[in-house]
Amino acid sequence: MINDKRIKIRQAFRDQYTLSIDAEVNAIESTILSTVEIRYDFQVLNIKEDCVEVRLLVLESKVVKANNPMVNEVAQVSQVFGRMYNELHLQIEPNGRVLKVLNSDLILSKWRDTKAEMEKHISGNEELKQAISLHDELFNNVDKVKVAVQANEFFAMYFGHVYDTDLPMAKKVFGTNIFNTANLEWNLNSESDPVLPTQGKEIVTIKTTSLPKLPLTDGFCNAAYQQFKDKIKIDPTQIKMIHTEERTLEYETGRLRRSSISKIEEIDPEKLYHKFKFTMLSDSEKKILENGSNVEEKGIGGKEGNDEKIYGVRWT
C-alpha cells in the first residue's frame, strides 16, 4: 500500500498521447486563430529512486486549422528543426526534469544531415544562415541540448509542477508573462481530489492555479507591452492574467490519463490578448471514455466486477 503525498511514476508502461493546442492571439492589428495537433508515443523503461528512464517519440505534428498562412510557415520551419528531437531516450528526475539525453549521438547525426540539406538552399537567406549558426552552437553544448529537450510541450503537459512534490502545495515560481515579453513572479497552488495519500487504485485529479504577483508594476508593463504603448492605453489594474491546469492520473502508478492547461493574458478584451488551451489525452483514456459513452447511449450498465473508474489547462 502506498502512503505518500507525492505523485510519482511507479510502474513501467507505454501509451500514446494526443496533444491539441488551440491559440487565439490578438495583437491590435490582427487576430490569429490556430489549432495544432501533436501525437506522442511515451514509454517508461526503468524506474529508480532518483531517476526514470523513458523514451519519447513524436509520431506526428500538424496544423489542423489556421486563419493566417504565417502559422503554417512557422510550423514548417519548426518541424524542420524539431525533427532532431522526434526520438528521445532520456533519464529524467521524478518531477520530469531532464537529467541526461541518452541518445545525443542520434540527435547530432540528425542535425548534421539536416544542416547539410539546408545549406543547399542557404544562398541569400540570412535568416536561415542565422538559424543554422544558432543550432550549431546549441548542439555543441550538452546543457543547451537538455534545455531544448525540456522545452518539449509534452513534459509541461505530463508533469507540470505537481510530480514529486507534497500535495497540497503552494509556492512561488519565477518565469515570464504569457506573452513571454517580461520576467514575472507567479503564485502557484495545487491540490488533489481525493486528498493524498489515498487508498487503492484511485484516480486522482490535481488542479493547479497560478496567478501573477500583484500589483503589476509600471516597470513590468513597460517591459512587457512597450511595442503597444503608442497604440493602446495600458492600465496595470485592468490586466487579466491566469494560468490553470488540471490532470487526471493514477495514484498507484503515476500514469497520466489526461491533462489540460489554460493560459490567458488580456490587456484589452477586444484589441490585445493571448489565449491558449492545451489538451492532452492518452489513447487508453480515450478508449475508456468512448466505451463509457457507448454504454450510456445504449442504456446498458457496466459489467459486474469492472473496477475501472472514469473521473471528471507552460512557462519555463
Q: What is the pLDDT of residue 307?
A: 35
Number of domains in the chain: 1
Within-domain flag for 2? no
Structural domain of 141 = 14-298
Q: Is 164 left (phi over 0), alpha (psi -120 to 50) or beta?
A: left
What is the pLDDT confidence band of residue 312, given thresholds at 50, 70 and 90? very low
What is the pLDDT confidence band of residue 112, given thresholds at 50, 70 and 90? confident
Q: What is the pLDDT of residue 179?
A: 95
φ, ψ for residue 112 (rounded to 5)? -60, -40
Within-domain flag for 226? yes
Is residue 305 over pLDDT 50?
A: no
In DSSP notation, the chain reads ----SSB---S--EEEEEEEEEEEEEESS-EEEEEEEEEEEEEEEEE-SS-EEEEEEEEEEEEEEESSHHHHHHHHHHHHHHGGGSEEEEEE-TTS-EEEETTHHHHHHHHHHHHHHHHTT-TT-HHHHHHHHHHHHHHT-HHHHHHHHHTSHHHHHHTTTTBTS-SSEEEEEEEE-TTSSSEEEEEEEEEEESPSS--SS-EEEEEEEEEE-SSPPHHHHHHHHGGGTTTS---GGG-EEEEEEEEEEETTT--EEEEEEEEEEEEETTTEEEEEEEEEEEHHHHHHHHHHHHHHHHT-PPPTT-----------
Q: What is the pLDDT of residue 29?
A: 82
Task: Give the list of residues 6+ apart from residue 315 with CB closer than 8 angstroms, or none.
Answer: 173, 175, 176, 178, 180, 186, 243
Within-domain flag for 163? yes
Cα gap 119→143, rounded to integer Å: 26
What is the pLDDT confidence band of residue 152, given thresholds at 50, 70 and 90? very high
Within-domain flag for 306? no
Nearest partner of 258 among 248, 244, 245, 266, judged by Cα: 248
Q: What is the pLDDT of residue 178?
A: 96
Within-domain flag for 247? yes
Within-domain flag for 303? no
CATH number of the structural domain spanning residue 82:
2.30.230
* Residue-averaged pLDDT of the chain: 88
Q: What is the pLDDT of residue 38?
A: 96
Within-domain flag for 314? no
Q: How far is CA 18 from CA 4, 136, 269, 313, in A?
A: 29, 31, 30, 15
Q: Which amino acid is at 176?
A: T
Is residue 51 over pLDDT 50?
A: yes
Beta bridge partners of 7: 163
Within-domain flag for 258? yes
- Residue count of the chain: 316
Is residue 300 over pLDDT 50?
A: no
